[in-house]
Amino acid sequence: MSHDKKRRLFETMDEYFKRAEFMFERAFVPSWNEAAQSIEPLYNISVGSNEVIVTVDLPYVNHEEVTLKLPADDTVEVYANTRRRITFADMGVRHRGGQFKSYHARIQMPVPVIESGMTSKFKRGILEIRLPRLA
């Protein structure tokens, strides 16, 4: 096996194990923080040829309360305060107590993105973020 093929194989394996570790953490780490009274919203990532589109479900939020940050070229952080407190009972969970007053999501991008071209729009509780891909 040539040196380049071995390197590609190890890079592929490394990428696979990083993805598996990420999925393991997502499965066993709760999506809420009781101390900060925040919950992680549902989100979806769509990768296109020129841009990445992230949609985030933010019910009970006014668009003025949404803050976006890009701490790195592969991460987007979404913060949003809610209009009212959300309880587990609101989500259909009866065996657990607690309430939340904000959303917080740290979303790992599958490809590097450019912060300067970021656009966002908020409509009916859905935040859509468009980020150009790094060439």
Q: Are 52 and 45 in contact (CB under 8 A)?
A: yes
Task: Give pLDDT, residue 119.
Answer: 94
pLDDT of residue 99: 86
Number of domains forming the structure of the chain: 2
Query: How confident is the model over 17-55, as pLDDT tens digits?
Result: 888 877 776 665 567 777 788 889 999 999 999 999 999
Domain that includes residue 13, residue range: 1-30
- Judgement on whether residues 5 and 60 belong to the same structural domain of the protein: no
Instruction: Report the pLDDT value the prediction gives residue 78, as an integer from 0 to 100.
Output: 95
User: Does 59 share its domain with 7?
Assistant: no
Identify whether residues 16 and 82 lie together within a single domain. Answer: no
Instruction: Looking at the structure, tell me whether residues 79 and 114 fall in a common domain.
Output: yes
Same domain, 73 and 61: yes
Which residues in the chain land under pLDDT 50? none
